[in-house]
Structure 1
Amino acid sequence: MLNIGLVLPDVLGTYGDDGNALVLRQRARMRGLKAEIHPIRLGEPVPETLDIYTLGGGEDTAQILAADHLISDGGLTRAANAGRPVFAICAGLQVLGESFRASGRIIDGVGLLDATTAGMQDRAIGEVASEPTRAGITSNLTEPLTGFENHLGATILGPSAQPLGTLTRGNGNADQAATADLSDGSAQRTYEGAVQGSVIATYMHGPALARNPQLADLLLAQAMGVALADLEPIEIPAVDRLRVERFNASEPPRSQR
Structure 2
Amino acid sequence: MPTSTVTIGLLLPDVLSTYSDAGNATVLAKRLHWQGIPAEVLRCTADQSPPTSCDIYVLGGGEDTAQLFAAQWLLSHRALCQAITGSSVTLAVCAGLQILGRCMTDVSGFTHAGAGILDIETRPRRVRAVGEIVTDCTVPGVGKLCGFENHRGATTLGTETRPLGLVRSGVGNCDRRLGRRREGVYTDRIIGTYLHGPVLARNPALADHLLSRATGHTVKSLDVPDQTALRDTYL
Matching residue of 1:196: 187
SS at match of 2:111: strand
Matching residue of 1:240: 228
Does 2:114 align with 1:102? no
Aligned pair partner of 1:211 in 202, 211, 226:
202
Tell me by how many angstroms 1:242 deviates.
1.4
Give unpaired runs (5+ residues) of structure 2.
Answer: none
Amino acid at match of 1:217: D
SS at match of 1:190: strand
Tell me by how many angstroms 1:133 deviates.
1.7
Tell me by how many angstroms 1:211 deviates.
0.6
Aligned pair partner of 1:62 in 59, 66, 90:
66
After TM superposition, list the pairs within 5 Å mapping 1:89-168 onto structure 2. 89-102=93-106, 104=108, 105-134=110-139, 140-168=140-168
Deviates more, 1:185-194 or 1:152-161: 185-194
CA distance in 1, matches of 2:107, 2:44: 25
TM-aligned CA distance change 1:4 to 1:199, over 3 Å: same
Deviates more, 1:41-50 or 1:159-168: 41-50
Deviates more, 1:48-57 or 1:98-107: 98-107
CA distance in 1, matches of 2:49, 2:159: 31
Tell me by how many angstroms 1:198 deviates.
1.1
Aligned pair partner of 2:54 in 37, 50, 54:
50
Give deviations 1:115-149, integer Å, cap 9, x for gaps: 10001111101111111123xxxxx3332111100
Give deviations 1:199-233, integer Å, cap 9, x for gaps: 1100000000001100000111111112xxx3233
Amino acid at match of 1:59: E
* TM-score normalized with structure 2 length: 0.93
Tell me by how many angstroms 1:102 deviates.
3.2
SS at match of 1:27: helix
Tell me by how many angstroms 1:83 deviates.
2.4
Matching residue of 1:29: 33
Amino acid at match of 2:144: P
For the 8 Å contact 2:186–2:192, the answer to whether it is kept is: yes
Matching residue of 1:173: 173
Q: Which has the higher strand share?
A: 2
CA distance in 1, matches of 2:106, 2:15: 14
Aligned residues: 230
Q: Which has the higher helix share?
A: 1
CA distance in 2, matches of 1:119, 1:189: 20
TM-aligned CA distance change 1:102 to 1:42, over 3 Å: farther
* TM-score normalized with structure 1 length: 0.85
Tell me by how many angstroms 1:188 deviates.
7.9
SS at match of 1:237: coil
What RMSD, in angstroms, separates the aligned Cα atoms of the two structures?
1.5
Deviates more, 1:123-132 or 1:74-83: 74-83
CA distance in 1, matches of 2:87, 2:34: 25
CA distance in 2, matches of 1:2, 1:188: 40
For the 8 Å contact 1:165–1:193, the answer to whether it is kept is: yes
CA distance in 1, matches of 2:177, 2:188: 25
Give unpaired runs (5+ residues) of structure 1.
Answer: 135-139, 180-184, 248-257
